[in-house]
Amino acid sequence: MTHSDKPTPLRSRASGPLTGKVRVPGDKSISHRALILGALAVGETRISGLLEGEDVLNTAKSMQALGAQVQRTGDFAWKVQGVGVGGFAQPKAALDFGNSGTGCRLVMGAVAGCPISAIFDGDASLRSRPMRRILDPLEKMGARVVSGGEGGRLPLTVQGARDPLPITYKTPVASAQIKSAVLLAGLAAPGTTTVVESEASRDHTELMLKHFGADITSVQEGQHGRRITLVGQPELHGANVVVPADPSSAAFPIVAALIVEGSDIVLSDVMTNPLRTGLFATLREMGASIEESDVRGDAGEPMAQLRVRASKLRGVEVPPERAPSMIDEYLVLAVAASFAEGTTIMRGLQELRVKESDRLEATADMLRVNGVKVEIAGDDLIVEGRGHVPGGGTVATHMDHRIAMSALVMGCASDQPVTVDDTAFIATSFPDFIPMMRSLGAEFS
């Protein structure tokens, strides 16, 4: 299956300058974690700016199924009454995460520390994605996989540990999902649970655990790594969380404004956590005009207003150690690289092969079908920018929201329109993407 039951194709064509001020949706990573930690806390958690896309709503439903009270109180405003660490109840039905690997994997960690069993399931795309790297450390902590698909694929049943064990675990790759699953399971274990990363991944879980009252420390390990230590069995307390705007979602209007001549847009409240802003750093190296103002923070997460103006971009080499800070943004970076002058080399993209689709191959296909010269060399993506993109192609999205949005951004400045075969899955992360881009001046039809 490579598209939704009712495909929604869309065509993007070159527009006039993009202008205006918008706020992209709340950060998906923060939204998932606020719901999960609110459910594991004692007392009430109030969340504002929550991303109300399908992925996050499925996490909210799973928290309800596990015994927490979760209520929408207004636009992007939610209230969670938690059950406490280790307090999840046996769900009556399978937990369905739709397209969300993040929600599924984090909740696996939270369930692994509770003496209950739960069935984890999702859509056809999620069922095809490997879970073994998450399950390995959880099994060391005492959880068991009772049943599941080949290679730890969904649907699978996880039996949480009655007496979870604290462990020291070195992650095989830089992965915030693996780290977070271990830390969430470690909440219910006595003693200290430690995660060692040779390369630092996103630290949203650590920052939010601290915000909810956990005793957690993070220190440098080697040149690029971190050692994170969590003291188990805390009493987390309910907290207020303001969810910043998602830099991964902001990436799409940012690149669109950079490549459409004469554009000048402002994005408010965008998260500027340095472990999430690899794309901004790369675009600036390419010559992009991205200015920050009104810098502030909440729950440990910095945010700022960004002004983005059309810029002449040049090709650059992106080092592999930057990948964890921009792993979801390489697709739209490849679009920017297509409009740049010169060659852009993106190194160390192996993690793109195990996302919603094989994003490395899908990104190359998106560029090729629109006349861009591109090559995959091992785990590196090499894009030959010529300052313009011929366009005229139809992009297969493979049920992947980021491919769909990246292709629509490409069409905003290509010589000929770009057609996307199915935009239905954009709703998983950015429900208002199409009307928001139209409000800035993009021409989608």
Give catalytic residue positions.
328
* Dihedral sign, Cα of residue 27, residue 33, residue 39, residue 43: negative
Q: Is 359 annotated as a binding residue?
A: yes
Q: Residue 433: which of 33, 103, 10 has the closest Cα? A: 10
Annotation-wise, does 305 bind a ligand?
Answer: no
Peptide bond into 115 cis (omega under 30): no
Q: Is 132 annotated as a binding residue?
A: no
Residues 6+ apart with CB under 8 A from 362: 331, 396, 397, 398, 400, 403
Q: Which two tokens stand for residue 105?
A: 């994997």
| Separation between Cα atoms, residue 425 and residue 28, nearest integer Å | 15
The continuous run of DSSP H or E covering 56 comes out as helix 54-65
Give the bridge partners for 221, in sequence order: 225
| 72 labelled binding-site residue | no
298 is in an annotated binding site: no
Of the candidates 53, 25, 39, the one whose C-alpha atom is nearest the C-alpha of residue 208 is: 39
> What tokens were used for 310?
């059309």
Q: Known binder of ligand: residue 79?
A: no
Q: Are 337 and 347 in contact (CB under 8 A)?
A: no
Q: According to the annotation, is 28 in a ligand binding site?
A: yes
Backbone φ and ψ of 334, nearest 5°: -60, -35
Distances (CA, A) of 177 to 169, 339, 382: 13, 33, 27
CB atoms within 10 A of CB 300: 14
Q: Is 177 annotated as a binding residue?
A: yes
Give the DSSP H or E segment for 122.
Answer: none
Exposure on the CB side of residue 156, measured as CA atoms within 13 A: 28
C-alpha span between 79 and 130 (Å, rounded) = 32
Paired tokens of 443: 């021409």
By C-alpha distance, which of 40, 82, 279, 320 is closest to 183? 40
Binding-site residues, in ranges, read 28-29, 33, 101, 129, 175, 177, 328, 355, 359, 402
Binding-site residues for phosphoenolpyruvate, in ranges, read 28, 101, 129, 177, 359, 402
Binding-site residues for 3-phosphoshikimate, in ranges, read 28-29, 33, 175, 177, 328, 355
